[in-house]
Amino acid sequence: MNIIDMTATELSAAIRAGQTTAVEATEAMLARIEEQDKIYNCYVTVDKEGALVQAKEVQVKIEAGELTGPLAGVPVAIKDNMCTEGMLTTCSSKILGNFVPTYTAEAVLNLKKAGAVILGKTNMDEFAMGSTTETSAYGVTRNPWNTEHVPGGSSGGSAAAVAAEECYYALGSDTGGSIRQPASYCGMVGMKPTYGTVSRYGLIAYGSSLDQIGPLTKDVTDCAAVLEAIASHDEKDSTSVERQDTDFTSALVDDVKGMRIGIPNDYFGDGLDEEVRAAVLKAAEELERKGAVVERFDLSLVEYAIPTYYTIAAAEASSNLERFDGIKYGYRTKDYNGLHNMYKKSRSEGFGEEVKRRIMLGSFVLSSGYYDAYYLKALRVKALIKKAFDEAFAKYDVILGPVAPTTAPKLGSSLSDPIKMYLGDIYTIAVNLAGLPGISLPCGIDKNGLPIGLQLIGDCFQEKKLIQTAYAYEQVRGKFGLAAHGAEREQRGQNTAEQEGQCNE
């Protein structure tokens, strides 16, 4: 029995059935990390000893019948912007290079309660600011489908770790697409839940009004199971929403009859790669064939989402990142002259280029004299964008489109032109502004052997419609191969990911 290929829920079933153990699965993942992570660099920190201790404890509880859930005993990787008690948490920044939290993020605690085994912390763009995982202070992460390409970002380490089978699933965070886009680039399922569904307690803040934690998994079933485990009302997060409908696995139903699906014309304009367009529209056809009612419509305001987002996110970032001052934790400069000079030098030496760029922009748009013209203006446009979605969801259950305009770009090709890089977020960003749930799942492979992602967007609190639609599509698409298999075949001198990854027709 090959336990490495299993999904998270398959593995936990096998553990419960006594066919394997949490310890075996953890050892298998640690061995893979040892073997391949020097190439991919998915992890910033691997907690080998801690993971084995957890695995043994969890195994005892499973055998005693105390842990019976669908994630019990399954090894997971956590994005390095979620606090983990006693385990280094860097946000992939030099400024937090030695930060060991004294508490654990609520979402991670929820996983631990479900019997998860935490393997370590995954690489990301510094403070989640980026779309490629190239702004990390701890080196770039490589896409396991093709190591010349980026894994996407900012949760690139999480997506790549699942794709390379260096964990069974991972947590990421999504402020403007940071779960969905790397999931798309790495051929994984990624979901950004409705704002307020998963507690942000212990998530190191970037854009607080936009940030949400969510799952990166091998399939939709795992995605629903993980979301069900991490969703909770938490008094420690004042924006946490009390929901009764978090039994997301109940939506794993292969039926889209009558599901109203809207395809925004605005998501298929200039800049969209032809192969991505074709694969996404083919997925829509499959759903239509299964009984969904598919229509084209004009969403409007799409081109205003990115400038709105960068104004709001930079403003919030400049405020949130004030806490890094070289006093309470993290990096402090060696030479300084007085308190203010120490602040400035610690921050200037500790933060990377993209982070400083956004802090500067955010400080500017919040400054007296510009606040109304930039920051308040962006909040007004955000209201218009939300209204456009409200109107769309009066007609449709689900909005369907691409995740990103292209498949994963080559390493080193994105950072030189920030605005061009920001444009890559055009289909994901409005979802965060409007607080909506969105899911990304693979729907094809391009001519370079790289995965193409399909995005489904739902109205607030309608994750179940997304899960149901995604699950139904997954049934007709068939199993999507993992990067690991493509790469291994390549090593044997055969064709790359193509055959494995191709959708069944």
Residue numbers at the binding site for other proteins (CB under 8 A):
98-100, 102-103, 195-196, 209, 235, 238-239, 241, 301, 303-304, 306-308, 310-311, 318, 322, 325-332, 336, 338-345, 347-348, 351, 356-357, 359-367, 374, 376-384, 386, 418-419, 434-435, 460
Indicate if 178 belongs to the active site.
yes
Exactly one of 178, 184, 240, 414 is catalytic; which is it? 178
What is the nearest approach in angstroms of other proteins to the Cβ of residue 453? Answer: 24
- What 3-state DSSP class applies to 300? coil
Of 317, 421, 456, 314, the closest CA to residue 374 belongs to 314
The first and second tokens of residue 306, run together, are: 């990115």
| Longest pairwise C-alpha distance within the chain | 70
What is the nearest approach in angstroms of other proteins to the Cβ of residue 120? Answer: 20
CA 47 to chain centre: 21
Of 217 and 346, which has the nearer Cβ to other proteins? Answer: 346
Of 148 and 417, which has the nearer Cβ to other proteins? Answer: 417
Of 403 and 430, which has the nearer Cβ to other proteins? Answer: 430
CA 440 to chain centre: 9
The end-to-end CA distance of the chain, in Å, is 28
What is the nearest approach in angstroms of other proteins to the Cβ of residue 232? Answer: 15
What is the nearest approach in angstroms of other proteins to the Cβ of residue 29? Answer: 29
Element (H, E) at 153: none
DSSP state of 322: G
Residues 6+ apart with CB under 8 A from 182: 133, 151, 152, 153, 154, 155, 156, 158, 159, 160, 172, 188, 190, 216
Of 297 and 329, which has the nearer Cβ to other proteins? Answer: 329
What is the nearest approach in angstroms of other proteins to the Cβ of residue 307? Answer: 4
What is the nearest approach in angstroms of other proteins to the Cβ of residue 298? Answer: 16
Of 124 and 241, which has the nearer Cβ to other proteins? Answer: 241
Exactly one of 79, 121, 464, 465 is catalytic; which is it? 79
**Separation CA 44–CA 57 (nearest Å):** 25
Q: What is the DSSP string of 400-412?
A: EEESSSSSPPBTT
Spatial contact of 158 and 193, defined as CB atoms under 8 Å apart: no
Spatial contact of 169 and 118, defined as CB atoms under 8 Å apart: no
- What 3-state DSSP class applies to 445? strand
Of 310 and 480, which has the nearer Cβ to other proteins? Answer: 310
Spatial contact of 172 and 79, defined as CB atoms under 8 Å apart: yes
**Separation CA 84–CA 156 (nearest Å):** 19
Of 289 and 380, which has the nearer Cβ to other proteins? Answer: 380
Tell me how crowded residue 473 is: count the other CB atoms within 10 A of its CB.
Answer: 24
Of 145 and 427, which has the nearer Cβ to other proteins? Answer: 427
Exactly one of 154, 155, 158, 240 is catalytic; which is it? 154
Burial bucket for residue 35 (CB in 10 Å: 0-12, 13-18, 19+): exposed
Residues 6+ apart with CB under 8 A from 274: none
What is the nearest approach in angstroms of other proteins to the Cβ of residue 221? Answer: 29
Residues, the chain:
505
What is the nearest approach in angstroms of other proteins to the Cβ of residue 456? Answer: 19
Active-site annotation, residues:
79, 154, 178
